[in-house]
Amino acid sequence: MLELFFFILGTFFGSFSNVVIRRLPYGNSIVRPASHCPKCLIPIKWIDNLPVISFLFLGGKCRNCKTKISFEYPVVELLAGLLFLFGYLNFGIQCNLIIFLILSVVLIIISFIDMHLRIIPDILTISLLIFGLASSFFNPVVSFSFLNSLKGTLFGGVFLYLVAFLGSKIYRKEVMGGGDVKLLAAGGSFLGLSNIFLALLIACFIGGLTGLFLILIGKKKKSDFIPFGPFIAISIVMVFFIRPQNVFLLASHP
Ligand SMILES: [Zn+2]
């Protein structure tokens, strides 16, 4: 029963994420005005604003003006629902479940803003970083160590800033944006030193593969820009989820 509760709770957080994704980058209030159709501006009734279900029930169209609603809304809601469900199944009711859920919601918001506008708002990465450091005492992924959390942050921030700086000098173009570096610094505060390094490798790997795939199927050209933020976000969630230091512990103590 709790599985269903966490899934539904997640879809409501997904619904909230949709609002933040479409308002925060423009400096608009997240609470006012109430949700409305972007075309006919008619406020959306609560019955038409239920995560996933309303989209299906309305056939993906505004009840009033029949304008198509972006498919992205239910996708974000479903994604958040699944992360909440799997988070609960993986962690149980623990401190790291709460850390994981907050981390997941903010990373969903960051990923979609980056895909829409190719920016990552500082307010999101800096808040995440502060929360990561503050929650380190309850976070088994950094072995409850503030120092490890801080090391991860510094690796993500300082070291990668240098990589980005050197890369831009060598290739004479931006290889990694400032937003990406801050996002990795924030990720480092949740993962610690060795895990953020692993997350960066995974991000480069899946980012590279996706880029290659998009070029091969002709969706993108070699010179096109593919935002890196979503890949960093996926890797951070993945590494936090599998907690690799426990796997290493099992391997060294058979
Ligand atoms: Zn409408």
**Ligand 1 centre from 7 Cα, in Å?**
28
- 14-19: long-range contacts, CB 8 A cutoff, minimum separation 24: 14/51, 14/76, 14/77, 14/78, 14/79, 14/80, 14/81, 14/108, 15/49, 15/51, 15/73, 15/77, 16/105, 17/76, 17/80, 17/105, 17/108, 17/109, 17/112, 18/72, 18/73, 18/76, 18/77
Name the residue ranges covered by the structural domains of the chain: 1-93, 100-254
Q: What pLDDT, in 10s, does the model give residues 12-50?
A: 999 999 999 999 999 888 888 888 888 888 888 888 989
Higher pLDDT, 226 or 42: 42
108 pLDDT tier (thresholds 50, 70, 90): very high
Summarised one tens digit per residue, pLDDT across range 118-177 is 999 999 999 999 999 999 999 999 989 999 999 999 988 887 788 777 877 777 766 677
pLDDT bin (cut points 50, 70, 90) of residue 244 is low
Residue with tokens 């091969």: 216
The confidence band for 253, taking pLDDT boundaries of 50, 70 and 90, is very low
Q: Residue 212: pLDDT above 50?
A: yes
- Coil vs helix vs strand at 36: strand
Enumerate residues with CB within 5 Å of ligand 1 (an ion): 37, 39-40, 62, 64-65, 67
In the reported structure, the alpha carbon of residue 191 is separated from the centroid of ligand 1 by a whole-number distance in angstroms of 43
CA of 55 relative to ligand 1 center, distance in Å:
13
Alpha carbon distance 49, 26 (integer Å): 22
61 C-alpha vs ligand 1 centroid, how far in Å? 8
d(CA 139, CA 99): 8
C-alpha span between 142 and 241 (Å, rounded): 13
